[in-house]
Amino acid sequence: METFLQLLIYGLQLGSIYALIALGYTMVYGIIGLINFAHGDFLMVGAFVALFAVTLFGLGFVPALLISMIITGLLGVSIERIAYKPLRKRPRLSALITAIGVSIVLENFPRALPFIGPAPRPFPQMIPMVKFNVLGVSTNSVQLIMIALSVLLMVMLQIIVTKTQIGRKMRAVSLDKDAASLMGINVNSVISVTFFIGASLAAAGGIFYASTYPMIDVYMGIVLGLKAFIAAVLGGIGNIPGAMVGGIIMGIAEIFATSINSDLGYGIGFVILIFILLVRPAGIMGKFTIEKV
Amino acid sequence: MKRLLCMLVAVAMMLSLFGCSQSSNTAQEIKIGVVCPVSGQSAIAGEYIKNGISLITDELEKNGGLEVKGKKIPVKVIVEDNEATPEKTANAYRKLIDQDKVVAIVGPDMSKCILAGGPIAQSSKVPAIGTFTTNEKVTQVGDFLFRACFIDPFQGKVAAKYARGSLNANTAAILYNNADDYSKGLMENFKKVFEEMGGKVVEIQAYGGSDVKDYNVQLAKIKAANPEVLFMPNLFSEVPLQAKQAREMGITAKFIGGDSWDSPDVPKIAGKDIVEGAAFISAFSPEDPNPLTKDFVTKYKAKFNVNPNSNAVLAYEAMKIVLKGVQDAEKIDGQGVRDAMAKIKDFQLPSGTVTFDENRNPIKGAVVMAYKDGVPVYVTSINP
């Protein structure tokens, strides 16, 4: 029982980060039907921005988090404007390939910069590490705060999408772009807001990830982005609560599978992906939609 | 035009004549090739290699040549740049063997490079000795290939000897990367030797690749087994997080690692206090109290004003091994030198005593280093 609880904590910790990143995939897909493969790299950018905010300007955790989320969010918006918007009316494959290109640029441009470079770097410990021992389960302040912050961000996002004006606009655009435009909704600005929120959530995910595993490099987003993408598909891509559920399931499944066999843990995400595509291609919470011709 | 061509041919013939007479004049001279990265991204390693070798050429010059069976023979060392690439290594090997007619080749320092040049040396029957070529495959190319360094899995043995013999640990646990041959080889050898010496490996945990960052599950199992030492023969980019997560979880076992721990990034990323006291295996330490090491370090420092590193000492030793082969050879040619090199036994060198095994891998000592306040310091030397 103790081992079970302990593993559950590790799983939740990993899962909440997957969920945060999966949200960005799902939001962008829900609105413009694009799988933004550069999304994993936003989290790397977020982590690096926070690193510089802390080491150069001596900021604390909360200001560094906010600044990083804003800068990464703006980066997301400008990438959408430069790379994806001109292709919005083109076949989806063009945008997908562009996304892969953007991802390669985001990984290798910082790598070429002398003050970032290819070598891994330590990430500062911004939250004091306090260890707890509850019911034979050992945990620490960093783990608990990261899980709590992830849940908080997810709740905030849910409120934005369901309760606010911009949320209503987003849902309208996601339902039918042209009709929403006819109703006087500025589709471009809605898409920009979506990219801003998605990228800033990725930045938060990157900072949380770097706080738990304090070593960052320019390629940290690749595998993490891939796992989060699987989480989004698992939950039903385009569906926001689905991405949260998918992320948590992925995290827990990975930890439990690792405890059985380490190789299994490494591959479990892909096993889940194959299984879900075979059994329920729309994901746990996704709806089947018929492509209109 | 025709006349010009004639003149050119005549000049060429004359030159070749000179060439002939020159080589007949100094028939006694021995040529030895050195292949190392003089330029390119590994140029710093090449610098150390050249420096290490220059200590020997200085010595030879001072003594007026190499003493072979009572006679002084002049030795010429020819350095070729391989830019740390396999293709350039193959070209350099060809040039040294076909044009310069060397009796042996020292270097390069990388396994992938000597694997490209090795077959050329093998088919031309010229012995070649890699300096820092730790991959087991290198000497499997053929019986003309040697190396001056120990092979990767050997570190596992040394680590086990240190844990069991010097630390008197009874129990050990291992965390290793099962997608990496380096890590796997060290793990297997550590387990074998540690158990042969009466210790018990209480837990072996694996993970599936370099991009894994969460070791909590594996470490929780290791913690439950409560070992005295924790052996982590993993890459320098993986080790810091492992060490950090282990200590945060409350594992108090002493850390032991392979030579990959020897990177300033390890204490920088993990934190000095996390890796305090962590021991790792290294080919060489300038602080080794062995008189030969001291002598080498003093000479090196006097000439270059910095401490030598493993690259420098291994190049120095590889050249010493070749010269010893030349001295002992019945006939000074590729075959003769090879046979003499293969017979080398208990040869005293700065980083330890060298004896070649049947696969031309040196059985030699290693040093144990430990992090103290974020800086590696010499702990002890372990001889096989």
Model confidence pLDDT, tens digit, residues B199-224: 999 999 998 877 788 898 899 899 99
Q: What is the mean pLDDT of residues A113-127?
A: 82
B275 and B164 co-located in one domain: yes
Taking an 8 Å cut-off on Cβ atoms, the answer to whether A122 and B268 are in contact is yes
Tens digits of residue pLDDT in A175-224 = 888 899 999 999 999 999 999 999 999 999 999 999 888 888 888 888 89
- pLDDT at residue B24, as a whole number: 41
B162 and B86 co-located in one domain: no
Helix (H) or strand (E) holding B378: strand B375-382
In the structure, what pLDDT confidence band is assigned to residue B13 with cuts at 50, 70 and 90?
low
Would B259 be classed as within a structural domain?
yes
Closest CB from A223, A258, A262 relative to B211: A223
Residues 141..200 of A with a Cβ closer than 8 Å to B: which?
none
Would A243 be classed as within a structural domain?
no
Q: Does B220 contact chain A (CB < 8 Å)?
A: yes
B188 and B276 co-located in one domain: yes
Domain hosting residue B115, numbered range:
28-150+290-365
Token code pair at residue B360 = 């031309």
Token code pair at residue A29 = 């897909």
B136 and B178 co-located in one domain: no
Answer yes or no: is the ipTM higher than 0.85. no
- The Cα of B185 is separated from the nearest Cα of chain A by a number of Å equal to 18
The domain tally of chain A equals 1
Question: Does position B18 have pLDDT exceeding 80, yes or no?
Answer: no
Contacts across the A-B interface (CB distance below 8 Å): 65
Would B100 be classed as within a structural domain?
yes
Mutant choice from B213, B219, B260, B266 vs A, greatest count of A C-beta within 10 A: B213
Q: What is the mean pLDDT of residues A46-61?
A: 92
Would B194 be classed as within a structural domain?
yes
B214 and B132 co-located in one domain: no
Would A127 be classed as within a structural domain?
yes
Taking an 8 Å cut-off on Cβ atoms, the answer to whether B248 and A255 are in contact is no
Token code pair at residue B94 = 């060809």
Would B224 be classed as within a structural domain?
yes
Nearest to A195, CA basis, from A101, A93, A102: A102
Taking an 8 Å cut-off on Cβ atoms, the answer to whether A213 and B214 are in contact is yes
B87 and B171 co-located in one domain: no
Q: Does B237 contact chain A (CB < 8 Å)?
A: yes
Would B23 be classed as within a structural domain?
no
- pLDDT at residue B11, as a whole number: 62
Q: What does each C-alpha distance from B146 to A62, B213, B330 come to in angstroms? A: 58, 38, 19
Cite the DSSP H helix spans in chain B.
2-25, 43-63, 86-94, 111-124, 152-161, 181-196, 216-225, 239-249, 265-270, 272-275, 291-304, 310-328, 334-342
Taking an 8 Å cut-off on Cβ atoms, the answer to whether B250 and A131 are in contact is yes
Domain hosting residue A32, numbered range:
21-221
Given a contact cutoff of 8 angstroms between Cβ atoms, the answer to whether A15 and A250 are in contact is yes
Would A289 be classed as within a structural domain?
no
Taking an 8 Å cut-off on Cβ atoms, the answer to whether A122 and B248 are in contact is no
Lowest mean pLDDT among A212-221, B112-121, B186-195, B298-307: A212-221
Taking an 8 Å cut-off on Cβ atoms, the answer to whether B207 and A262 are in contact is yes
Would B299 be classed as within a structural domain?
yes
Instruction: Pick the last residue of a domain from B282, B302, B332.
Output: B282
Question: Does position A266 have pLDDT exceeding 80, yes or no?
Answer: no
**Which residue does chain B place closest to A142, by CA atoms?**
B248
Would B380 be classed as within a structural domain?
no
- pLDDT at residue B230, as a whole number: 96
The domain tally of chain B equals 2
Q: Does A131 contact chain B (CB < 8 Å)?
A: yes
Question: Does position B45 have pLDDT exceeding 90, yes or no?
Answer: no
B163 and B275 co-located in one domain: yes
Would A95 be classed as within a structural domain?
yes
Would B370 be classed as within a structural domain?
no
Nearest to B107, CA basis, from B186, B158, B42: B42
Using an 8 Å CB-CB cutoff, list chain A residues near B250. 131, 138
B179 and B264 co-located in one domain: yes
B141 and B38 co-located in one domain: yes
In the structure, what pLDDT confidence band is assigned to residue B382 with cuts at 50, 70 and 90?
confident
Tens digits of residue pLDDT in B139-190 = 999 999 999 998 877 888 899 999 998 999 999 999 999 888 888 889 999 9
Would A118 be classed as within a structural domain?
yes
